[in-house]
Amino acid sequence: MTNKILPILLLFFCFACSPKLDKETYKKYQNSGQEITTNVQAVLLSNVGKAIQTGGPEYAVEFCNLEASSIVDSLNGVYDCEISRVSAKNRNPQNALNSEQEKQMWQLFAEEQLADTVLQSGHGLVYYKPIRTGMPACLKCHGSTETDINAATKQKLEELYPNDLATGYKLNDFRGLWKVEFKPEM
């Protein structure tokens, strides 16, 4: 019981001092966040799928190492916001949980299985949405190193990501968070 109450209390105390979002603003940014993350994820999955078809999962690992961040970065300009992925079990060190807010949100999403949320952060708004291992193909790079990830892919992961934490997942496991930081409206 205490384990479930603590994250909710943390969220309450963390954001109780922040100005309250009215329902209309919350819904507007929630819808925008959903649209953005759905589109960004579709672009990433399409590109990763093509990479798997081209050279298998080990080629997809190399593709992600070289291209995934730049794909997301290029979409920041399209949507006029800052899009990122964060995880306690990150593969790319740039996706580590760096702020207290990210750590608290990670804990809440991991324990409470929230769908998505919008928070006031400073003068802007931040949208968070869980990332799950939604397809069997995800497990070829993020699954069990014993049963899901082949030797060539495992070798490529060790070469490109020596401190990789993003394996051991099963289908539909919570793997990370989309984070969309909206610029303050003037």
Average pLDDT per block of 10 residues along the chain, 186 residues long? 45 48 94 97 95 96 94 93 96 94 94 90 92 94 96 96 96 96 81
Q: What is the pLDDT of residue 186?
A: 55
Q: The pTM is what?
A: 0.86
Q: What is the pLDDT of residue 46?
A: 95
Q: What is the pLDDT of residue 185?
A: 74
Cα angle for residues 120, 123, 124 (degrees, 5° grid): 60
Sheet order of strands, 81-86 included: 81-86, 174-182, 124-132, 117-121
Domain coordinates of the chain in residue numbers? Answer: 23-181
